[in-house]
Amino acid sequence: MPQSTKSLKEFTIVDFKGQASAITKKARRDRKTKLGEEKLILSSFRDSILSVKVLPTNGGTVSVMYDAGNRQSSAKFYVVKIKFLDFSKWIPNRKKATPQEFKDILKVMDVKLNCSCPALHFQGFRWKLSQLQSALYPTNIPDPHWNKYHKGGLICKHLYVVLNRFFTNSDQVLRFIKKF
């Protein structure tokens, strides 16, 4: 689990990979068993923010949150956002970056995270990420109810899926980033 904010201010994809609670991991396994793997679609790369659409396995609409976490609507997918801090410092010429260089940099480049699912906000994950200075859209609203169920969990199911598949798909991600 990532260290406290007193000893380290920012975190990498490696730090957050697998940092879902036991209940989130179980929900993910159950859903994968019943409905299969979620489909991930690289959506955009702007201002060092990679957006990944996570299509629901049931193919229906989902409830999503706006970035500030204050309004809801329905959509055909969730959007996971990963902001790479100091991207141009780490990768000054992304057109020339090799897949291995990109994988190596991902292990040290700090990130901020967000997901459009309501769980990120209402189950306290956005608050936990805010405490670590790793929320793309911070909040100061803790969630005392869900905290007892998500002990040790820092990320929602959709962030868990994207981050756990990130390194195996990093070549594809780099090709996508090079287009922008």
| pLDDT tens by residue, 8-23 | 557 999 899 889 988 8
Helix (H) or strand (E) holding 26: helix 22-35
Q: How many CB atoms lie within 10 A of CB 80?
A: 26
Q: How many CB atoms lie within 10 A of CB 152?
A: 10
pLDDT-derived band at 1 (thresholds 50, 70, 90) equals: very low
Residue 134: pLDDT over 70: yes
Residue 174 has what pLDDT?
A: 92
Q: Please report, for the chain, the start and end positions of each structural domain, with discontinuous segments joined by +.
A: 11-179
> How do 78-84 and 110-115 pair as beta strands?
antiparallel
Which residues contact residue 148 at a Cβ distance below 8 angstroms, ignoring those fewer than 6 apart? none
**Which of residues 145 and 34 earns the better pLDDT score?**
34
| Percent of the chain with pLDDT strictly greater than 70 | 84
Tokens of 50: 């990679």
In Å, what is the CA distance from 45 to each residue of 30, 135, 178?
31, 18, 9
Strand partners, 12: 110
Residue 5: pLDDT over 60: no
Could you tell me the pTM of the whole model?
Answer: 0.85
